[in-house]
Amino acid sequence: MKVLVEKGTKKKRQTIVILQVGSLMNFVQGKTVANQVDEILLERIRDETYSPGSRMPSESELSDELGVSRATVRTALAKLAANGLILRKQGDGTYVNARARDASAFLGNLWDLVELIEGNGFKPSIRFLSIERRPATEKEAFALALEPSEDLIALRRLFYADQQAVILADNVIPSSLLREPFESIDGSLHIRDIFQKYFHQKIAFAITDIRSAVIGEEACTYLGGESDRAILKLQVALYGKNNLPLALGTNIFDDSVLRLSLVQAWS
């Protein structure tokens, strides 16, 4: 078993990892204690260690089990509650939201297309369509904090749910962020892996704008159906640490196959 121990002031804490035998938990040194606790609880909800509708251990029990303060546990639970994954009933305890697993946009990760497809019960795969360098448009340069006409790397990919094409995804990334040879980029990888492997960046958060649109002839050639049918267009901006803009994305989303839902908690 690995137990987390917190040391230091409230503003600055040091994580010490103590190894013990017989635990399934996998703590990673270097991450904050709160993030590790959050990941553990999230994984338990995902794999139904805490089954839908069940009562979770108390803050005190989790604190003792994980070897962290109750304040840290409380912070992790508050994050899960804010995303609608758990329900906190005063005087009764904390329960896993029985409907949480129905949400395909788990934790609001609308930019994570692989997770979106998996959340709908399908096996995801990615077909790499094209990659090119091109100048940024005025709108792209403004959104990515670039100089006018600075070079971008444009990726086009097609996402499948089982064997059916469901999302046409276009991403543009500043060429200045590239840390590996352009020719080596494998567009069939998960977007997180692309950023880590070729740009040495981690996605911290994303902002997604969802709009209804007509699919059009170009997207129709990939997704099928009538060219005048309505689809969802997801405009995504990805950010790294320190609010650094990393990429823009346009995802043409076939909602006749995939459900797009959000979970939100009401106080």
pLDDT in tens, 182-207: 999 999 999 989 999 999 999 888 88
pLDDT recorded at residue 242: 76
Same domain, 116 and 212: yes
- 246 and 239 in contact (C-beta within 8 Å)? yes
Residue finishing a domain among 101, 128, 148: 101
Residues 6+ apart with CB under 8 A from 24: none
Residue finishing a domain among 50, 82, 101: 101
Interhelix angle 70-82/33-46, nearest 10 degrees: 50
Same domain, 151 and 222: yes
pLDDT recorded at residue 104: 42
Quick check: is 217 in a domain? Answer: yes
How far apart, in whole angstroms, are the C-alpha atoms of residue 26 and residue 23?
A: 8
**What is the tally of structural domains in the chain?**
2
Quick check: is 184 in a domain? Answer: yes
How far apart, in whole angstroms, are the C-alpha atoms of residue 172 and residue 197?
A: 16
Range of the domain at 114: 106-253
Same domain, 11 and 34: yes
- 150 and 135 in contact (C-beta within 8 Å)? yes
Same domain, 65 and 114: no
Q: Give me the residues of the chain with pLDDT under 50, please.
A: 1-3, 5-25, 103-108, 267
**Per-residue CA distances from 100 to 46, 96, 123, 197 (Å):** 9, 8, 20, 32
pLDDT recorded at residue 6: 46
Burial of residue 218 (CB within 10 Å: 0-12, 13-18, 19+) is: exposed
Tokens representing residue 182 in the block: 């352009």
In the three-class reduction of DSSP (H, G, I as helix; E, B as strand; rest coil), residue 15 is classed as: strand
Residues 6+ apart with CB under 8 A from 138: 148
Same domain, 148 and 217: yes
Residue written as token pair 């930019």:
111
> CATH number, domain at 51?
1.10.10.10
Quick check: is 137 in a domain? Answer: yes
Strands 93-96 and 164-174 come out as unpaired
**Per-residue CA distances from 17 to 3, 6, 21, 96, 202 (Å):** 6, 9, 13, 28, 24
pLDDT in tens, 233-260: 999 999 988 788 999 999 999 888 887 7
